[in-house]
Structure formats: C-alpha cells, structure tokens
Amino acid sequence: MRSALEPGIRILWTIIIIMALSTSLIAASIGVQLFIILKHLGVSDILSAISLPDVEKIRVPLYLAFSATSILALISSSVIFLRRRVKWCGYIVILALISTIILLILPRAFEYPPSVLSDMLLAPAIIMLAVEAVIILRFGRAEPILRFTSIELAAAASLSAMAAVLTAFTGSFFPSPTGGYTNIGDMAIFVAALLYGSRVGGLVGAIGPLIADLIIGYPRWFITVIAHGGEGVIAGLGKGRSTPLQAAILLASGIYMATIYFIVNVFIKGLPVAIISYARDVFGQTLFSTILALLVMKAVEKMLPQISRRTRVREPQARP
C-alpha cells in the first residue's frame, strides 16, 4: 500500500531542497573533518603509502562508515520519496539524522581536534534533517514494516551461512598482501539476490560476510555491513532479468562494494595500496563470484525451476 500523501508543490519542493542542502552540508563537513583528522595524524599526502597505528585504523574507518551511512541514507531517501514511499523515506531520514549526530560526536570521542567549520556545517544539516523527518512523517500515511515470507527467511538464513562459510574458508587461504582477504563469498550473496530480490540479497550481504569477519578477526567489520549489504540490495535488481543484464548488475554491485572499501583504504593505506586492493576486489573477487553465481543460477533453473516461479509469485504478496 502506497502512502496517501499527495504533497502540494510547496511541500514537495521544500523536501527536495532540504534533501539537497543537507546532503551538500554533510559532504562538505565530512571533507573538512577528514582533513583535520589526517593532519592531526601526521598524514600530509594520501597519494603515497600511509602507515597509521592500529587503533587509528579502526577509528578513521569508523568515522568513514558513519559518513557513508549518512550520505547513502540521504540518497536512498530521495529515491524512495520520488517513488512516493513517503513513510519509509521518513524512516531512512531518521537513520541519516542519527548517523549525522554521531559524526558530530565521534571526533571528540576519539580526541581529534574539533573543527569549528565542520560543526557549523553539520549543525544546520542536523536541524534540516529533523525538520524533514517531521514533515514527512506528519504527512505520510503509516506503511507496514518490511515483511519476509517463511521461504525468504529460510533462504536468508541458509544463504547467509553459506556466504559466511565461503568467505571465511576461502579468505583464510587467500590473504591479501595489502590487508584484508580475497574470497568468493559474494557468490552466495549474488545467488540470494537473483533468486529472492533485494530484500533477501541485502540481508544475506549484511549478515554472512559480517559473521565471517568476526570469525577471522577482521577489525573493520562494520564496513562490511555497508559494503556487502548494499551490494546485495543492488544485485537484487537483477532478479528475473536476462543473463547479460544480470551479469552487468552483479558487476555493478561488486564495483559498489569495492568502491566502499577503496574509499576507506585511501585514508588508512594511501592511494597506491588502495588502487591495488580495488583492482583485486573488482577483477578477482567480484568477477569470479559473478561467474560462479551465474553458473549456479543456470543449474538451479534447470534442476529446481519451481523455486524461481514460487518466489516470483510470492514476493509481491510480502510487499505493502
């Protein structure tokens, strides 16, 4: 059920302007604060290799993780708002608001030099996000929370376990000299997304690799939720498409995942090392996982065609 809100032109443009301004202010604030943080850590040039203390290799990515959450949440809310999913747009704006408030707190919690300019940019952005959330939630009709069918829940659980095993097992054999590890766990995420869509794909992407990170002891596990969770959501857009289009969508989702890690690596390892890791993630992990996922999908379609038919029929029933 879609929202009953049919906003007037003034409300519509008010929300659009607030979204654009708040996104711009947050992005500018992040840039300023990152410059201050790197300067404080003695990093004058990200174009060369960077060597940070282990604790800073956690703190800087954590700041980047909440930065990405704020920006991605605002972009997602804009798309959802244009699709008239008004109430859900409000929920995601609240997520962006919480993440942005945390961005204001983290530099002080980590004892980095505070940036007055960054605070001056974040303060109005926080106010605008709060106003935007109130406007949207005030005018939007209540929408049901995402519901999963029993089949989707069972598939998410089993495929998350498969993603965790594939990620941890193959990752332990292929550690990267630039940090992290190469694995084929994305294959399970892609299969989940192509079979059941973005909801299950995103769930498997967030849970499976996260469990693997905790097993292996990867310190920046929180990046995984954003990178692989979003990867699963994007990959789900390939459900029911032709094989060439599925391949293109899977590669695009993998590039998104690799780009998230690339941005983090630039600030903790420097550009040269980040480029090497980026190439490994795209041409190794993503490409290989895409090929394997498409082969698995072909086998599933031949042996268990009823699975695809059943999920295509039931999925719309789970949607509001």
Q: How confident is the model at residue 300 (pLDDT cuts 50, 70, 90)?
A: confident
The verdict on residue 117 lying in a domain is: yes
Q: Are residues 162 and 233 in the same domain?
A: yes
The verdict on residue 1 lying in a domain is: no
pLDDT of res. 18: 86
Q: Are residues 242 and 213 in the same domain?
A: yes
| Alpha-carbon span 176 to 186, nearest angstrom | 17
pLDDT of res. 22: 93
The verdict on residue 144 lying in a domain is: no
Q: Are residues 65 and 175 in the same domain?
A: no
Strand partners of residue 56: none
Alpha helices in the chain (DSSP H): 9-40, 56-82, 86-109, 116-139, 150-173, 186-196, 198-216, 221-235, 243-269, 271-279, 287-303, 305-318
| Alpha-carbon span 57 to 36, nearest angstrom | 16
Give the domain extent around 281. 150-318
pLDDT of res. 8: 61
Q: Are residues 104 and 227 in the same domain?
A: no
The verdict on residue 145 lying in a domain is: no
The token pair that represents 45 in the structure block = 């040039």
Tell me which of 84 and 105 has the higher pLDDT: 105
Q: Are residues 96 and 167 in the same domain?
A: no
The verdict on residue 91 lying in a domain is: yes
Q: Which of 139, 167, 184 is the last residue of a domain?
A: 139
Contacts of 209 (CB under 8 A, 6+ apart): 163, 164, 167, 185, 189, 224, 228
Tell me which of 314 and 193 has the higher pLDDT: 193
Residue 66's Cα: distance from chain center in Å? 11
Q: Are residues 178 and 265 in the same domain?
A: yes
Q: Are residues 85 and 14 in the same domain?
A: yes
> Is the Cα torsion angle 179, 181, 182, 187 positive or negative in sign?
negative
pLDDT of res. 102: 96
The token pair that represents 317 in the structure block = 């029933």
Residue 246's Cα: distance from chain center in Å? 19
- The answer to whether 197 and 312 are in contact (CB under 8 A) is no
The verdict on residue 259 lying in a domain is: yes
pLDDT of res. 143: 58
Token match 């789900």: residue?
236
Per the structure, the count of domains in the chain is: 2
pLDDT of res. 44: 83
Q: Are residues 203 and 314 in the same domain?
A: yes
Q: Are residues 109 and 129 in the same domain?
A: yes
pLDDT of res. 311: 47
Q: How confident is the model at residue 314 (pLDDT cuts 50, 70, 90)?
A: very low
* Torsion angles phi and psi, residue 157, rounded to 5: -65, -50
Q: Are residues 205 and 120 in the same domain?
A: no
Q: Are residues 203 and 293 in the same domain?
A: yes
pLDDT, tens digit (0-9, with 9 covering 90-100), for 36-79: 999 999 998 888 888 889 899 999 999 999 999 999 999 988 88
pLDDT, tens digit (0-9, with 9 covering 90-100), for 242-265: 999 999 999 999 999 999 999 999
Q: Which of 117, 139, 161 is the last residue of a domain?
A: 139
Q: Which of 109, 139, 169 is the last residue of a domain?
A: 139
CATH classification at residue 280: 1.10.1760.20
Inform me whether the pLDDT recorded for 23 exceeds 50. Answer: yes
Q: How confident is the model at residue 301 (pLDDT cuts 50, 70, 90)?
A: confident
Tell me which of 7 and 38 has the higher pLDDT: 38
- The answer to whether 261 and 180 are in contact (CB under 8 A) is yes
Inform me whether the pLDDT recorded for 318 exceeds 50. Answer: no
The verdict on residue 228 lying in a domain is: yes
Inform me whether the pLDDT recorded for 89 exceeds 90. Answer: no
Strand partners of residue 175: 181
The verdict on residue 4 lying in a domain is: no
pLDDT, tens digit (0-9, with 9 covering 90-100), for 268-297: 989 998 998 899 899 888 999 999 999 999
Q: Are residues 164 and 79 in the same domain?
A: no
Residue 238 DSSP class: G
| Alpha-carbon span 320 to 305, nearest angstrom | 26
Q: How confident is the model at residue 316 (pLDDT cuts 50, 70, 90)?
A: very low
Which one, of 245, 224, 264, 260, lies nearest residue 59 by Cα? 264
pLDDT, tens digit (0-9, with 9 covering 90-100), for 189-248: 999 999 999 999 999 999 999 999 898 888 889 999 999 999 999 999 999 899 999 999
